[in-house]
Amino acid sequence: MGIKLSGMISGLDTDSLVKELMSAYSTKKDKLVKSKIKQEWKMDAWKDMNKSIHTFYTKSLSSMRLSGTYNAKKVTVSDSKVATVSGSTNAVNGTQTLRVTKLAKSGYLTGGKISAEDGSKLTESSKLSSIKGMSDLVGSKININGTDITVTEDMNIGQFVKEMKSAGVGASFDAANQRFFVNAKASGADADFTITGGNSSGVEALKAMGLFTVNDKDKAEYKKLAALDGNPDGALTAYIDDIAGKKYYTVESYTEKLNKENESASAANENLTKSIEANEKEIERLTEQRANDTLTEEDRTAIDEQIAKLNKAIDNSRATIAENETKISDNTALLNDPDALSAKVNEENAKIRQDVEDDITGKIAAAKVALAETASTDTSGTQAVRINGSDAEIWLNGAKYEGKSNTFSINGLTISAQQVTGDEKVTITTDTDVDGVYKQIKSFLTEYNKLVNSMDASYNAASAGDYEPLTDEEKEALSDGEVEKWEKKVKDALLRRDSTLGNVATAMKSAMAQTFEVGGVKMNLASFGIKTLGYFNAAENEKGAYHIDGDVDDDATSGNADKLKAMIASDPEKTIEFFQKLTTNLYDTLTDKMKGSTMSSAYTVYNDKQMKKDYDSYTKKITDMEEYLSKTEETWYKKFAKMESAMSKLQSQQANFASMLGM
């Protein structure tokens, strides 16, 4: 809108007149703005309420459905240094005896101290060949848990450690102490690791790296291999055939291998072709850029280097494409010639068998060397220390139990052994944890009461009357304190008599009032001395809250007999079963209320989607109204401008007429 010079002829205050004429329309806009603000506040109020309901649903309520929540058993040990023990609801009450005769251990190897040939300090980046005694042992094989690690010329300590980890053990190199450390990943004899020479030089490599030890598991592996020497009764041949046979190709599996190679090569060529095209376009761009007269010689040299790199990449890609095409052609020829394919499978299988035979022969040689070392020398000569993985052993009530870890689960008890007792016995006493179960139930009811009281308070809130959200102009007429009180009056009543809130609260109260059959007896909360105070005795907005008879923290019921504790003590299983059924029913009720629909999201008890839709509708209506107001205001100004123009012309005509009359 341009600059308005209004009322110059008529003498009217055009701005005031237009403002007055527009006031009715502005009032309509203000109503929309207030409705939008109120809708936003209501959405926030529902978000907070839904958060409280969802938190109760996923935490306190959800856990009460599970038997493990109730901590139904209290277990004490006469000597807590020997073991820690906890009990589930299935644990039998009474006193039991426990002896711990062995603790489970993880296999562990502390390597002997090593040094470099030149006397320098070894680090993870040092090559294995730089370790004293390793210079001539390239090609040595070290076998960990059946996986061979081949010592290569360029392999460094860090890479060797990584290879050991890949073989299934924990491994590290301590540069400060110049030692390797190897450990099993779990405790127990079965989880222990083997570390042996994979060929004759592999044993020497283990010694040079301070890793040569022979425990029972290693020795058993060495003996098994050494026994095959000389192929007694064809045992070596059978062993080789067994291992190789698991690796042999069939015509079908080799066909699948060739087809996968062709698919992979074709896909690679497609990507390489795209890469070539992209590089060629980049070369064209750089060539054009190079022709720019403003470039320095240094700039051109840099571009030439980029072009050279791109050309090299193109050449490499084309060479790879050619190799892949040859592979595809050769594979396709084999696939189309059954006789040639069969011959190729036999050829590959022969190679596999030879590789296995060479590998086993090397391992036999290593086994003989290792056994000779252990027979003729001190096995700790490398200063390596080996702790064997071992199982735990405990005796409960005279019965022996063995395990890979120090934790045992026996008849509802979880026993974590910590110290060997030998022949000494400790006692384990199990009893119903009345206080623990009581605490869980009371905690649940506290959370339920807090939620239901909050819902009732919102539903029964005092009416806001004529109070509505304030516009910015209305706020300017009030102090900050007055604005805060005004808005609180509106916000407190946002969920007053809300039908959705009322339905959810009613459903929850109904679920809590249900009766369930437990052990042939019908029971409800009143059976445990848990009741509401009644309409006339309960405080405002606390009529749905439950109170426990005999609860020392509750003035209203503390003087009553504690029926809940008595029930827990006399029949904990029945008590727990009832509360599981009660809370499962309440959980299912809320699950149904929180189902997603076209109007609400999942895990939401209110129509959040519809409320957002209504909010967006207000936003659009306000935008439309603002556009309408702007156009209407412009129309009024144009009308007054035309009036001013007409009056100006009339004034001019009157002046001319007066002049003609000599006035």
SS3 string, 313-354, reads HHHHHHHHHHHHHHHHHHHHHHHCCHHHHHHHHHHHHHHHHH
- What's the mean pLDDT in 468-482? 91
CB count in 10 Å sphere of residue 436: 15
pLDDT over threshold 50, residue 463: yes
pLDDT over threshold 90, residue 126: yes
Report the DSSP beta bridge partners of residue 348: none
Distance of CA 25 to the CA centre of its chain: 54
pTM of the complete model: 0.56
CA distance 359 to 355: 6
CA distance 358 to 24: 100
CA distance 106 to 181: 13
- What's the mean pLDDT in 594-613? 89
pLDDT over threshold 90, residue 76: yes
- What's the mean pLDDT in 119-130? 95
Helix (H, G, I), strand (E, B) or coil at 74: strand
CA distance 626 to 514: 55
* pLDDT at residue 11, rounded to an integer: 56
Alpha-carbon Rg for the chain, nearest whole angstrom, is 44
- What's the mean pLDDT in 314-339? 95
* pLDDT at residue 662, rounded to an integer: 63
Q: Where are any strands of DSSP class E within 433-583? A: 516-518, 521-523, 530-531, 547-548
* pLDDT at residue 228, rounded to an integer: 86
* pLDDT at residue 12, rounded to an integer: 62
CB 205 within 8 A of CB 382: no
Please report, as a single letter, which amino acid is at residue 256.
Answer: E
Q: Quickly state the pLDDT bin for 379 (edges 50, 70, 90).
A: very low
pLDDT over threshold 80, residue 447: yes
Q: What are phi and psi of 377, to 5 degrees?
A: -135, 170
Q: Quickly state the pLDDT bin for 1 (edges 50, 70, 90).
A: very low
- What's the mean pLDDT in 458-473? 92
Bridging pattern class, strands 399-403 and 147-150: unpaired
Give the mean pLDDT of the chain. Answer: 89
Q: Quickly state the pLDDT bin for 232 (edges 50, 70, 90).
A: confident
Lowest-pLDDT range of 2-11, 220-229, 230-239, 378-387: 2-11
- What's the mean pLDDT in 549-556? 94
CA distance 262 to 336: 14
pLDDT over threshold 60, residue 458: yes
pLDDT digits (tens, 9 = 90+) for 352-372: 999 988 888 888 887 887 787
Both tokens assigned to 635: 């129309």
Lowest-pLDDT range of 17-31, 302-316, 570-584: 17-31
Both tokens assigned to 549: 């008879």
Nearest to 611 by CA among 459, 454, 491, 498: 498
CA 592-594-596 angle, to 5 degrees, is 100
Share of the chain above pLDDT 70, in %: 93
CB 345 within 8 A of CB 249: yes
